[in-house]
Structure 1
Amino acid sequence: MEMEMEIETLNNVMCQFTDREGTPLGAALYLPQNAGPQQLQQIVNKLLNNEEKLPYAFYISDQELLVPLETYLQKNKVSVEKVLSIVYQPQAIFRIRPVNRCSATIAGHTEAVLSVAFSPDGRHLASGSGDTTVRLWDLNTQTPMFTCTGHKNWVLCIAWSPDGKILVSGSKAGELQCWDPATGKPSGNALLGHKKWITGISWEPLHLNATCRRFVSASKDGDARIWDISLKKCVICLSGHTLAVTCVKWGGDGIIYTGSQDCTIKMWETSQGKLIRELKGHGHWVNSLALSTEYVLRTGAFDHTGKTYSSSEEMKKVALERYDKMKGNSPERLVSGSDDFTMFLWEPAVSKHPKTRLTGHQQV
C-alpha cells in the first residue's frame, strides 16, 4: 500500500495556482504530470466556482504553458520536489451576436416606404415612399441627408448609377426623375414617355460604358425604354410584350432582359433595340428577374476596401476586372420567378430553353 502511494506521488507534481498579482488560488495541490492546459482550465474554473466555463492561459516562469506539465518539466529540467508556481490569466472572449434585433430605426417618411437601394459604395441609402419623396441617408451616422421632392405620385422604384453619381426614381404616375446624390437636387426635368406606372429600373453596367449615361425602365404600359441622361430623353423604346412589363435587368454582356405578365422573358440588344430571343416556359406572369452577376453590376468598381478613383476610365477598368472574376468561365445566368409558383434557371447566351425548373413554393 505504501509502495502504491509512493508511485502515485512520483507521477504527480505539487502545484500552486496564482493570479497575475501573485495571489494564491486556494492551497497547493498535487496534479498529474500528464495534465495539460485543457485540464488546468477545468481545475481553475472549478476552484473559482465559475458557472460559465471561461478560457485561461497558464504561465510558468513567464513562459506560456502549451504542453503537458511532464513535457515542460523534462524540457526545462525543473525539479518536482519543489512546489511549481503556475500563473493563470483569463483570456478574451469573442462572442458573435446573432442578428435578431433592429440596429437602428431611420424615421422620416410620412407614408409607406416602397423602395430602397444602397449606393454602390455602400455608404448611403436611398428610399422611395408613398409620400412622393425620395430620401437620402448617411449610413455611417444613420441620419437623413436630403429629402428630394418633385414626384406627383408614389415613388415605386429607385436605382443608383454604378458610379454612384446619379440616382433615378420612377413613380406611379409613369415619370422618371434623376437626382444628384451630392445635393439632393433634381438633375433636369422629369423624363416622360411611359403611359402607366414604372415597375423597374436598371442601369447600363459601368464596365460597358464609363460615362454611365443610359438606364432602362420598365412599365405597366407594356414597354421598356432606354434613356440617355445626357440627352435627357428616351433613345430607344423596346416594344413587343403584350401585357405589363414587371421587371427589367441590364446584363453584363450588354443584353437587356424584360419579364412580363405575358409569361415571357425577352432579350434585347441595346444599340437599336432589336429583339434577340424570347424565353418561354412559365405558365403565369413573370414577376422577378435576378442575374448571377448582379452584385458586381450594381457596385461597379466599388468593393469593401473603400478605394476611390481619379477617372471614369479607371473605374471602368476595375469594374470589368470584377465582372470577369465574378463571371469566370461560365455564361451569365438568369433566374426568373413567376406566379406559377416556380423559378426557372436560364443561361440565355447559350440556349432559349431553361437549364432547370425550380419548384417547391406553394403560393405566389
Structure 2
Amino acid sequence: MDSGVVATPTLVARPFRLEPFRALMLAPNRIGAQASARSFGRPYRDVAERFATWQRAGQVTHDDQRALYLHEYTTSGVTIRGLVGALDLTRDATNLDEVAVFPHEGVHPPQATELADRMAEMAMNPAPILLTHQAPAELRRLLDSARTGAADHQFTDRSGQYHRVWAIHDATVLDRVRHKLRDVRALIADGHHRYAAYGQLRADHPGLAPGTDAGLAMLVDQEDTPLFLGAIHRILAGLSLADLEQLGSAVQMAAGPQDAIAALAPTTVVVTDGHDWATLELPRADDRLAVEILHEDVLPTLPQPSADIGYAHSVDDALSAVARRRGLAVLMPVPAFTDVLRAAEHGRLLPEKATSFQPKPSVGVLIRSLRDE
C-alpha cells in the first residue's frame, strides 16, 4: 500500500442534507463491548450473517419507519449531542463556495478503498462520521424542542457511556429541520477516510445504489455541546536537542517541564528528549496553524525523514515514547476550532493527525443498512 500519497476527498455541495433512515441498534449490553467492536472486523462478509443471528436472538432492533435521530451521549462528565442522518452525497462541489462538508486532513486512497470494500461487504455504515459546525440559533431551538419529551432509548453501555436517543418522525418537524440545514457548512471532526470511502462506494459498488447515495453522519453543534479539541504531539525518532542548533535563537532552553509547557502558545511549541526541555518559536508570517508551520517550514530543515514521525495524544504518551527510544517529543499547542475551520474553508489540508476531537460515541448505537433504500 502506498500510504505516502495523500488526496483530497470528493467535496459534497450544498444544500447540506441529512436524510431520515431506518436505524439499526445493537442491544445495550452489546454496545461498548470490545467483542462487539471486533465483530465489525475481518472477515467483513460475515457481518451481515452475525447481524442476522443477533436479530434472531433479539440483540438488534430495526426501526419500522425512517427518522432523523438526536443522539446525546455522556462520558467522563462530557455530554455531546448531535443530529444523526444519511448525508446526501449526490452533488459534488465545483468550488469552495459550494462546499457543504469540509475536510481538514487529506486521505490515503488505498485506505479509503479498503474501507469502501469493507462497507460493501457488510452492506452497512456501522458508525456515523462526526461533523461539527456552529449552528444558527433557529436550528438549535428547533432541535432543543425535539428532545422535550422522553427519549426513545436511554441506557448506559458496556463502556460506561450514557446514551439518550430521540427519533424525529414528524413530517412537519423534518421539513423545518431540512430547511434550517440547507446552508450548513460543516467540518469533519472524525472520519476523513470513511467520508472518502462513502464516495468510493458510489463509484466502485453500483449494485448497492441507491443506498450508496448517502453516508451515515452525526452533526454536532460546537457552540452547544462542543467536542473537545486537543493537540496531537509529534515524536521525532533519532534526533537530539543538538540537532536544533541550526534553528538559532528560535530555540530557547527552559528550566524544566513546567516552565516549558507554560510557554506553549499558537506560535510556540515545546521540545524535549525527556531530560532537557526547550521552547521553539515558530516563524509566522500568515494565518497558518502551528502544525502547518512545523511541518512545512521547520521539519524539512532537520535531519529527519518524515516516515520517522510518530504521534502521541498526551504529554505522558509522548514522554514515554522518547523514554523507550532515543528521539525528541514535540509538544503542540491546542488549535482553536475557528482556526481549523478557517483553514478548511480556504481549502487547506492540515498535516496528518493535526487534531483530536473527543469524545466519540460507542459503535452500535445507530447503524445504517445500505439495503434499506
TM-score by length of 1: 0.21
Larger radius of gyration: 1
Higher relative contact order (CA 8 A, sep 6+): 2
Structure holding more helix per residue: 2
TM value normalised by structure 2: 0.20
